[in-house]
Structure 1
């Protein structure tokens, strides 16, 4: 990523009105400090909050085209996300953002296991226009994906081909990729 490219991070929290410095915020600050990767961080506690945050990014932020990665730290499993004890399928999310994610990479932290069939992944990519969806097949189990997430994001500074980036990630961090079961759907 060059200096005018950003990560947009949306973290699900119990109450979006409460301000807390989470591990995610600390890691994004470290990425900015160490590698100059700029990010925008928002929290949400409902599907409406998720939709409002992404719509604000789409329609109000004139730098939206520069956001290459949408980093989602949201609980859930398989094909669902969980916000405030309500589950939403990725198909529902895709329909909310139909055609609005052109060229973006949606990356899920391992707070949510990402387990999609080929059809589910293709539907999401086709409907939203996203370039890829990435995440992890292994459950949280007290080991967050934050270090591997940072490594993944930093590789975008060097190149743009997501498949080559994932290959390099596996070369450099094979054990961690295997342990967390890094996945890419494109």
Structure 2
């Protein structure tokens, strides 16, 4: 990720009217201070809020091409996300953003287990145009993926090949990658 690249983070919360500083916000601020990686942080409490936030980014933010990573922090399991007790499959999400994620990497924090079949992953990538989808196969309620997420995002400063980035991430943080079961679909 060059110095003109950004992370767009969208976190699912129970009520967007309630202002709280989450661990995610603190980690994004730390990433900006330590590595100079800028980010935009938004919350959503409905699927419409998710769609609205991403559409605003797509159509109103003239720097959208500079957002290499779309960082989604929302609960769910396997092939779905959960927003305010409603579950949405990644197929539904793919159809919402058909052709709109070209070249982007969608990264899920370990609030949601990411477990896709090869067909599900390929469908998502084909429909959205995303370059890759990454996340974790294991979730621990007492251990968030934020440290590993920061390390993953930092590696984009040095190079652009997502496979090499994941290999380097495993070399530098093998135990954590193994514990959280880091996954990449591309």
Superposed, 1:62-141 pairs within 5 Å as 62-141=62-141
The residue number in structure 2 matching 1:59 is 59
Partners of 1:16 and 1:134 in 2: how far apart?
Answer: 26
* RMSD of equivalent CA atoms: 0.5
The residue number in structure 2 matching 1:15 is 15
139-148 vs 91-100, greater mean Cα deviation: 139-148
Measure how far apart 1:139 and its partner are.
Answer: 1.5
Partners of 1:86 and 1:115 in 2: how far apart?
Answer: 19
TM-score (norm. length: structure 1): 0.99
Contact 1:81 1:112 in 2 (8 A): yes
Contact 1:81 1:90 in 2 (8 A): yes
Measure how far apart 1:141 and its partner are.
Answer: 2.6
Measure how far apart 1:18 and its partner are.
Answer: 1.2
The residue number in structure 2 matching 1:179 is 179
Instruction: Provide the aligned length of Structure 1 versus Structure 2.
Output: 186
Q: Which structure 1 residue ranges, 4+ long, deviate > 3 Å from structure 2?
A: none
Q: Deviations over 1:56-107 (max 9, x none)?
A: 0000000000000000000000000000100000000000000000000000
Contact 1:8 1:67 in 2 (8 A): yes
Contact 1:10 1:50 in 2 (8 A): yes
Q: Deviations over 1:21-62 (max 9, x none)?
A: 000000000000000000000000000000000000000000
Q: Deviations over 1:122-146 (max 9, x none)?
A: 0000000000000000013310000
Superposed, 1:148-159 pairs within 5 Å as 148-159=148-159
SS in 2 for 1:114: coil
SS in 2 for 1:167: helix
Partners of 2:17 and 2:169 in 1: how far apart?
Answer: 36
SS in 2 for 1:10: strand
SS in 2 for 1:125: helix
